[in-house]
Amino acid sequence: MDDVEVVTRQLGRELTCNMAPASRCPGGFPVVVRNAPVTRDGSPFPTLYWLTCPALCADISRLEAAGAVAAFERLLQSPKTRAALLASDLAYRHARAGGAALGDVGIAGNSDPLRLKCLHAHAADYLAAGLNPIGKKVLESAPMPSDCRICAGQ
């Protein structure tokens, strides 16, 4: 099964834009994909990195439902964490635009990088680029599943 087939199974739908794996599970299956900045019909696609592992997505959804976004926002009271997130967001914007600023779209489609709204996007950014301090903390709370068949969408 190729990467497009795996990601299609993981998401349970056809892909709307071109993508390439940005991070893989230990079994070699995509866990995060890097999306093209526009969909196949030419519409903007604001999220550069997309978390695709169904089990990891479900675990992070449970964190969000339990109110974890507010807890992770409190981490931004630390100047070190805040600066690291701002640096990560800037790197994200440059990567999305191929090195040039592209509108007002950062991690999770946010214009304000200090306003967290999607822990999935922060985890995906960390897995793909290794910089996002919020994504790192999210993954400490919702670690990668050990059964890679889940990553394969099986």
Has residue 100 got a pLDDT over 70?
Answer: no
pLDDT band with cut points at 50, 70 and 90 for residue 153: low
The burial class, CB within 10 Å (0-12 / 13-18 / 19+), for 3 is: middle
Q: Give the range of the structural domain holding residue 80, as residue numbers without chain letter.
A: 3-151
The model's pLDDT over 50-65, given as tens digits with 9 standing for 90+, comes to 999 998 999 999 999 9
The pLDDT value recorded for residue 149 is 64
pLDDT band with cut points at 50, 70 and 90 for residue 67: very high
pLDDT band with cut points at 50, 70 and 90 for residue 79: very high
The model's pLDDT over 1-39, given as tens digits with 9 standing for 90+, comes to 799 999 999 999 999 999 999 999 888 899 999 998 888
For residue 10, give the nearest of 120, 92, 97 by alpha carbon. Answer: 120
Residues 6+ apart with CB under 8 A from 142: 56, 59, 60, 62, 63, 123
The angle formed by the CA atoms of residues 2, 150 and 121, to the nearest 5 degrees, is: 85
**In the chain, how many domains are there?**
1
The sheet with strand 30-35 has its strands ordered as 19-24, 30-35, 49-51
pLDDT band with cut points at 50, 70 and 90 for residue 43: confident
For 111-139, what is the mean pLDDT? 95
